[in-house]
Amino acid sequence: MRQEQFVARYQREWQAFEHWLETRGDARRALAERNGGELGDEDIPARYRRLCQQLALARRRGYSPVVTARLQALMQRGHHLLYRTPPPRWRRAAEFLLADFPRLVRSEAACMWAAAALFVAPLVSMFVLLQFFPELIHGLMSPQEIAALEKMYDPASGRHELGRESGTDWGMFGYYIMNNISIGLRTFASGLLAGIGTILVLILNGVSIGATFGHLQQIGYGDPLWRFVAGHAPFELTAIVLAGGAGLRLGYNLVAPGRRTRLDALVAGGIKGARLCLGIAFMLLVAAFIEAFWSSTQSIPASIKFSVSGVLWTLVLLWLWRGGRHRRGDADAP
């Protein structure tokens, strides 16, 4: 069939489809108005398939761009409408946090344990070293930083808050959100550098936190320090380890993709890591909230703070260990 006959035969269909796209294409408008055109909404999938068939014919027969470009444009608009993103459901978000996220974490258990080792080992060793060799702190921090640190946790000062120099609760909340979540996401994202970035970030963070804790403990400021840290540590430290684990997974997928191409492995690791980052961002949000509004108060006695901290640690570890196990037939399948 020649091009002109082809166009003459199907012209009306294409015009009807284009009219539908223009009048019913916007979801909000389509909900509000009635469909007055000649094509009903329920006819569109069949019409779209017919349009695709006609496009394939036009290409096969080598028709000119007058026809093929027009059909291609119509087809792409139809495709875009028919394969639209479904709207988010908030119940799904709750299910993700409570069940899917712990299952994701458990499915990457090896990476998570490795990240935990990379974080905790430097932390503990730095802490212990500083008890016996206190002068090591000067190799890690400048005197001004040490002075500022000691000022924040000085038990003898008459200040109201622990662990911060100034700033209201809301002010520090905003600062902690910006700071902590950025660090957590960077820990994950630096896994793209074959995992080396994540390893470095974990070790450096472990060293610096261990140095801070060790120095303050060694000079006798341990009580304010533990009272400050106890509240948000369950969420923040765990989130850093999880972010490190996700980054390690990403780096590992790049270095040793197994039987997939490197790009495929990277994409799979990235998608998994992005889902983990959602949960990690939530954890860091909670940690920032606790850090800003609970950790700094001097008026709450140490026993209450430590017992709350113990409860939170138990909850976090239980959540990661047992969350999502209620599904039948699988223990911790990913």
Partner 1 sequence: MLDTYREVVTPEGVSLHLPAAGPVPRALAWAIDLAIRLAILMLLGSVLALLGAAGQGLYLILLFLVFWAYPILFEALWNGQTPGKKALSLRVVNGNGAPVGWLPAITRNLLRTVDMLPFGYALGLLACLADPHGRRLGDMVAGTLVLHEISERQTRAAPINAVLAPSLVLRPAEQRAVVAFGERAPLLSGARQEELADLAAPLTGARGQAGVLRLFGMANWLLGRR
Of 28, 31, 34, 64, the one binding partner 1 (CB under 8 A) is 64
Compare residues 167 and 222 and give the one whose CB is closer to partner 1: 167
Compare residues 133 and 170 and give the one whose CB is closer to partner 1: 170
Query: Contacts from 149-158 at CB under 8 Å and sequence distance 24+?
Result: 149/212, 149/215, 149/216, 150/216, 150/219, 150/221, 153/216, 153/221, 153/224, 153/225, 153/228, 154/221, 154/224, 155/220, 155/221, 155/223, 155/224
CA distance 319 to 258: 31
Name the segment binding partner 1 (CB under 8 A); options: 110-118, 152-160, 175-183, 304-312. Answer: 175-183
State the chain's maximal CA–CA distance in angstroms.
95
Of 175, 293, 294, 306, the one binding partner 1 (CB under 8 A) is 175
Site track for partner 1 across 197-236, x = CB under 8 A: ----------------------------------------
The verdict on 186 binding partner 1 (CB under 8 A) reads: yes
Please say whether the beta carbons of 193 and 253 come within 8 A.
no
The verdict on 270 binding partner 1 (CB under 8 A) reads: yes
Of 29, 49, 138, 325, the one binding partner 1 (CB under 8 A) is 49
Of 12, 19, 29, 79, the one binding partner 1 (CB under 8 A) is 79
- Report residue 91: phi and psi, to 5°: -65, -35
The verdict on 2 binding partner 1 (CB under 8 A) reads: yes
Q: How far is the CB of 193 from partner 1 (least distance, A)?
A: 7
The verdict on 84 binding partner 1 (CB under 8 A) reads: yes
Please say whether the beta carbons of 3 and 64 come within 8 A.
yes
Site residues for partner 1 per CB under 8 A: 1-6, 48-49, 52-53, 55-56, 59, 62, 64-66, 69-70, 72-73, 75-76, 79-80, 83-85, 88, 167-175, 177-178, 181-182, 185-186, 188-190, 192-193, 250, 263, 266-267, 269-271, 273-275, 277-278
